Copies of this chain bind each other. A is one copy, B any other.
Amino acid sequence: MPHGSVGIIYKRQHEPARLEAEKLETWFRKKNIEVFSEEMEAGKASLIPDSVNWVVVLGGDGTLLGASRKVGRYGAPILGVNLGSLGFLTGIPLDDLYPVIEMMINDRLEVETRVMLETRVIREEEEVLRFQVLNDVVINKRTLARIIDLDVTINDEFLTTFRADGLIISTPTGSTAYNLAAGGPILYPTMETFVLTPICPFTLTNRPIIIPNTAAIEVRMGNESEETVILTFDGQVGFDLFFGDRVIISKSKEKIKLLRPLDHSYFKILRTKLMWGGVTYNKDGDH
């Protein structure tokens, strides 16, 4: 009888990732651990059973985001191993793979819980889409659209009409992704609040807003919107919205469990990824 089971998801169309997955598969089998290994593929359901004890992701943050949408609801903790430079979610370098895996199967890694967002689209009183994301939901104008108006309510109270290129609703996990490029703040990753950041707002006093996890955010296209808009999940999956659609975004019941080495430091990743170490210039200064 095997000592537990593990899922492996590796980066799509990436030869080194596939080879590492094979080696890792062999390693697990030697330890008498059952393995279910598959390439990340967006449109396809995962064949990994929901009974696995762990999931190992070999790739970058993008692969882990995809994997979390597939197997996040299983409840099995996920280990993100990066084949290139470290990611926010994939903080284990390839060099540390086997020592960390040893720790994983011996229960010596920390589990960090991350909140997800659930999006529902209601069209003519019917739910036409339900989707979970770990990073962000983006509502965007089409490239050639003149402008869009987005009416936003929070817990049924009118917030405002955003006249902008679009709107990002991000988890703390997603706050260091697209949200940051659009001028949003960083949210400490284990928090359970969300940030709503307009993209290039035409009303110059609009600002990112942090809202509590009890909020249900509803977005509708405003009266002056002439065209369809696009809903994008984690920057990976798109969906066309029509006039009259109601998009309702709230905290998901499911959470993602990420595995972390005990010496893991979020702030260190932040300093590295955002290059905070470097004093870029100075005011008057002799450096």
Q: Which residues of A contact B (CB under 8 A)?
A: 11, 14, 59-63, 65, 84-85, 87-88, 135, 140-144, 146-147, 154, 157-160, 163-165, 172, 175-178, 180-188, 190-191, 193, 195, 199-212, 215, 230, 232, 234-236, 238, 265, 267, 270-271, 273-276, 278-287
Q: Please, which residue of chain B has its CB at the minimum distance from the CB of A198?
A: B181
**Known: A143-B238, A144-B232, A280-B203. Contact between A184 and B182, CB under 8 A?**
no
Q: Smallest CB–CB gap between A78 and chain B, Å?
A: 16
Contact of A284 among B210, B234, B285 (CB under 8 A): B234
Q: A139 CB to closest chain B CB, in angstroms?
A: 11
In Å, the complex CA distance between A271 and B165 comes to 20
Whole-angstrom CA separation of A186 from B193 in the bound complex: 13
Say whether B284 contacts A274, CB under 8 Å.
no
Q: In the complex, A112→B72 CA distance in Å?
A: 37
Contact A235 B284 (CB under 8 A): yes
Q: How far is the CB of A112 from chain B (nearest CB, A)?
A: 13
Cβ B212 vs Cβ A285 within 8 A? no
In the complex, chain B residues whose CB is within 8 Å of the CB of A282? 60-62, 147, 163, 177, 202
Inter-chain contact A235/B180, CB cutoff 8 Å: no
Identify 6 new A-B residue pairs, CB closer than 8 A, beyond the known A160-B271, A204-B204. Answer: A60-B287, A180-B281, A181-B204, A185-B209, A191-B212, A203-B276
